Structure 1
Amino acid sequence: MSDTITLTYTVSNEDFTRAGEASSDVKSRLKQMDVDPAVIRKVSIAMYEGEINMVIHAEGGTITVEISSDQITMTLTDKGPGIADIDKAMQAGYSTAPDNVRSLGFGAGMGLPNMKKYTDDMQITTKLGVGTTVVMKVYL
C-alpha cells in the first residue's frame, strides 16, 4: 500500500441497531486488503468499543479511519458531555452508562480499557460540555 486510504463514518446517538456498522465495514475492507488477521481483530475490537461509547454517551459523532502502509489510525470525535475523569474511566468496570443501556447488555465499563488494550497507541482529548476525541493507532 503506497497511498493512504481514508474512510469516514457517521455514528448516530442511541442507535443500537446500527452500532457496529462502521467497525464491520472496516473489518471487511481490511480482509479484502489481505491485512494480517491479528491486526484486523485488534482494529475491529477497538473501533467497535469506541463506536458503542459514542452511541451510549455522546450525541453521535464521526469516525475517520486512515489506512497506510505502516499503520491504521482511527479518530473518533463526538459532541458528548466529555469525560470528567479519564483515569477513572480507564478503570475496567467503571461505567457511567444509564440503567436502560445496561439492561440492553451494554455499559459494563470495558469500552475504554479494551480500546487501550487492543491498540498500540491511544490518546484521549476531552472537554466537559464540548466532547471527546480519541485517536487510536494499530501498527502493521
Structure 2
Amino acid sequence: MFSDMVAVEVYRIAFYLLSFLCLQAAAAAKRAEELGFVDVAHFPDLPMPDILHGFQDQGISVVRELCETNKMTSEIRSVCILLLQIVEKSLYLEFCVSQVCGIRPVMGRIEDFSKEIKLLFAATTGHVFLEETVKSLKQITSYVYPGLLQTEGCL
C-alpha cells in the first residue's frame, strides 16, 4: 500500500512537471508565431523523445492493467485519469520536439505504440469516466502519428 501511495505521488509530480513544460512549449510556439521563426536560444529544454516514450509506455500499460481488473474504486479512477493525462502531455511534448527539431518517429516506435494504444482503447471501452480523457488522447495521437488511428480503426 505504501509503494502504491509513493508511486501515485511520483506520477503527480511527473504530471506537474509535464504540465509546466507544456506551458513553456506553448509560450515558445506563440513567440515563434509572432517572430515568424523558432528562436532556439529561447526555446525551453524539453525531454528527449525516449523519456517521453517511457512516460507513454508506462502510463498506457498501467491504465490498461487497471481497466482490465475491473476493480474501479474512486482512487483507481483518479489514477487512471492522471496517467492518461501524463500520456497526453508527453505526446504533446513529443509533437513539439518533432515540429521544432524535425525529429520524426522511428518505424519501430510507431509499430509498438500502435499496438499498445489499440490495446489501451480496447481496455478503456465501457469505462465512462475515461471517455473525455481518451477522446483528448486520440486527438493528440492523431497529430503525433498522423493516420495511425484511422489505419488501426480506433477513431
Q: Same fold (TM over 0.5)?
A: no
Could you say which structure has the higher strand fraction? Answer: 1
User: Which structure is higher in helix share?
Assistant: 2
Q: Which has more radius of gyration?
A: 2
TM-score, scaled relative to structure 2 = 0.28
